[in-house]
Amino acid sequence: MPAFKQAPLVAGLLILGLLLAACSSAAPAPSSAPAPAPTQAAAPKPAATEAPKAAAQPTAAPAQPTAAPAQPTAAAKAAAKTSPVSLRIAIPADEGILQPYAYITGYPGWNMLSLLYDALYVFDADNLPKPWLAKDAKASADGKTWTITLRDGVKWHDGQAFSSADVKFAYEYYKANTHSRWTGPVRNFTSIETPNATTVVITLPSPDPQFAFRVLADLPIIPKHLWEGKTDPKTFNTNVGTGAYKLAEHQTDQFYRFTANPDFFAGKPAVDELVIPIIKDPNTIFSALKTGEIHSTIRILSPELVKDFQSNAELKVQRGPGFATTLLQFNDERAPWDKTAVRQAVALAIDTQKLVDTVLLGFATAGNPGWLHPASPFHDPAVKGEYSVEKAKALLDGLGYKDSNGDGVREADGKPMEASLLVQSNQPLRIRAAELIAAGLKDIGINVKVTAMESNSLDAKVWPDFDVSKGRDFDLAMFGWSAPVQANPLRMVSLVHSKPAVGSLNIGGFKNADVDKVADEINITVDEAKQKTLMRQLEALTAKELPFLMLYYDDGIYAYRPAVYDRWIYQKGQGIFHKLSFLPDAK
């Protein structure tokens, strides 16, 4: 393990105990808090307790979702009348105000946000979009008009009725108030009409192959009666949604407490209370899980702990495919990383399989330089990474980048090839991977200093205000994207397109005319066969130009205490922490 500052374990657990005690005390809340739950509450057997062992396959966005909507069931409405179930699930950092403009990370921030807010569709256990707030959505023959029928009887947390007016308002608000995730999908809407309270008609200038994924299943609907007239969305302190949970309490950098929404349209959640303490130190988290002070965590189980946790009779481990990514991000605007040949040399000097075997003990898949997970149906098997120190050296020699003074560091255009490699201080596995990368680059004459920093500080340098148009200030960074970015293959466009309005996740500032041309065509192509052809072209270009280097895709390995709750649902690529885990009866 790398040198890493760890808070004393005893002190960490003492703080955790105080936080959990605080959670049971009286506090202002939008609804009455449930009675304290016993730490060993019985729970029904889960529908499935074993995660799928085969790698999941991200699938293409369907032109038109046709699945039946999730319906409240008798079991959901007659939620268990036994002792209330209270779960304590640790996260590593505060996620801010949980509203669409103020949550912080894609995971677990987006997952926590979705406990409070709903989209018209929801991602099911296979990570495919299914009806949710909407009963159905139908596209016209030319793909330019979508008619959406909403559920009846849905209410906001404050008791106000949900209607088509809220959907229209939410999409128009996202269009008018820029957000890196929400604005792009609605920017080109031609019109939104609401002929009645349960019907929304959206007209597009051209077919959108990602409409089901990026609009229906991803955009949270916000209440018009609260958000109308708010001109600074980032500071609006509200959490009123239609979701399965209400936010009862939030103590910054300490904990969140959610209470079940008894009027939730898909049935009362199976868990009455979610207490989410913030514990920055991963060792403290896993120790607390073993002692029962927490019941689960959003953190993937450290590879070296898997056997120990699997052998513990009080714990259960679920393992499944992971779509979360870890990559080496170049600042594509800063010399010498702005040169394709330099990026190629760096890629040749990094043994990604060694990273998987050494850092993750084999619990991951080595990265594809073309971004797509190797299990994706859009992946071209001909696109592969290569490890060759000699070829890396030859590329740099060909650029004239030599070590002229014998200090072991090459010079590029008269300047030493040196860089700072930023990495999150609360990510020990990434720190270890960064150290191995630095050692590999030293072998080809590039001096890299690994700099660990707090996550928000790193984001401020790499992705200031989560807006790629605001530039960047770094050399290299260990970075990653949450599962939804990989689960929908077509979202690759947002990682590589040069225009910020399209490439909203292009944090390196990469620019390439050929890439933009293919990406633009993907964005208007609804035929799946043609999508696949174009995506393979984009994959090949990405593997050649290397705006970033994919390192690995972690397996999802999650541990929990089944005696407290054992109805977790493993969502392919995402893991067990998502709202469907707490709504096991909503089919």
Distance CA 539, CA 544 (A): 9
Distance CA 450, CA 435 (A): 7
- The residue with tokens 């990559």 is 327
Superfamily of domain 325-554: Dipeptide-binding Protein; Domain 3 (3.10.105.10)
Distance CA 246, CA 262 (A): 10
Contact (CB, 8 A) for 289 and 296:
yes
Contact (CB, 8 A) for 247 and 30:
yes
Q: Where are the alpha helices (DSSP H) in 73-121?
A: 74-77, 109-116
Structure tokens, 174: 């996202």
- For residue 112, pLDDT over 60 is answered with yes
Residues 6+ apart with CB under 8 A from 357: none
Burial of 191 (0-12, 13-18, 19+ CB in 10 A): exposed
Residue range 139-163: average pLDDT? 96
- Strand 121-123 relative to strand 129-131: parallel, antiparallel, unpaired? antiparallel
| Dihedral angle of Cα 257, 260, 265, 266, to the nearest 10 degrees | 100
Q: 9-319+556-582 with 325-554: one CATH topology?
A: no
**CA-based nearest residue to 33, from 295, 254, 262:** 262
Sign of CA dihedral 477, 559, 126, 129: negative
Per-residue pLDDT of 476-503, as tens digits, reads 999 999 888 898 899 999 999 999 999 9
pLDDT in the model for residue 46: 31
Distance CA 529, CA 334 (A): 37
Output the CA–CA distances (angstroms, integers) from residue 109 to 91, 245, 424, in the order listed.
10, 15, 16
- For residue 36, pLDDT over 70 is answered with no
Structure tokens, 130: 């299914």
Domain ranges in the chain are 9-319+556-582, 325-554
Question: What is the CA 420 to chain-centroid distance, rounded?
Answer: 25
pLDDT in the model for residue 126: 84
The 3-state secondary structure of 522-566, one letter per residue:
HCCCCCHHHHHHHHHHHHHHHHHHCCEEEEEEECEEEEECCCCCC
Contact (CB, 8 A) for 445 and 396:
yes
Structure tokens, 15: 């703080």
Q: Minimum mean pLDDT among 49-58, 76-85, 322-331, 573-582: which range?
A: 49-58
| Residue 580 DSSP one-character state | G
pLDDT in the model for residue 375: 82
pTM: 0.72
Contact (CB, 8 A) for 472 and 462:
yes
- The residue with tokens 């269009």 is 175
CATH 3.40.190.10 for the 9-319+556-582 domain, yes or no: yes
With residue 170 as reference, give the H or E element that holds it: helix 164-176
Structure tokens, 39: 């730490």
Contact (CB, 8 A) for 271 and 565:
yes
pLDDT band at 7 (very low <50, low <70, confident <90, very high): very low
| Percentage above 70 pLDDT, the chain | 86
pLDDT in the model for residue 66: 41
Q: Minimum mean pLDDT among 71-75, 185-189, 425-429: which range?
A: 71-75
- For residue 175, pLDDT over 60 is answered with yes
Question: What is the CA 195 to chain-centroid distance, rounded?
Answer: 35
Output the CA–CA distances (angstroms, integers) from residue 277 to 298, 316, 582, in the order listed.
11, 21, 18
- Neighbour count for residue 549 (Cβ, 10 Å): 22
pLDDT in the model for residue 232: 96
Contact (CB, 8 A) for 133 and 118:
yes
Per-residue pLDDT of 522-532, as tens digits, reads 998 888 889 99
Residue 49: CA count within 13 A, CB half-sphere = 13
Residue range 173-201: average pLDDT? 96
- Average per-residue pLDDT in the chain? 87
pLDDT in the model for residue 5: 32
With residue 18 as reference, give the H or E element that holds it: helix 9-23
Per-residue pLDDT of 543-579, as tens digits, reads 999 999 999 999 999 999 999 999 999 998 889 999 9
pLDDT band at 320 (very low <50, low <70, confident <90, very high): confident
| Residue 439 DSSP one-character state | H
Q: Where are the beta strands (DSSP E) in 76-221?
A: 86-90, 121-123, 129-131, 134-139, 145-150, 191-196, 199-203
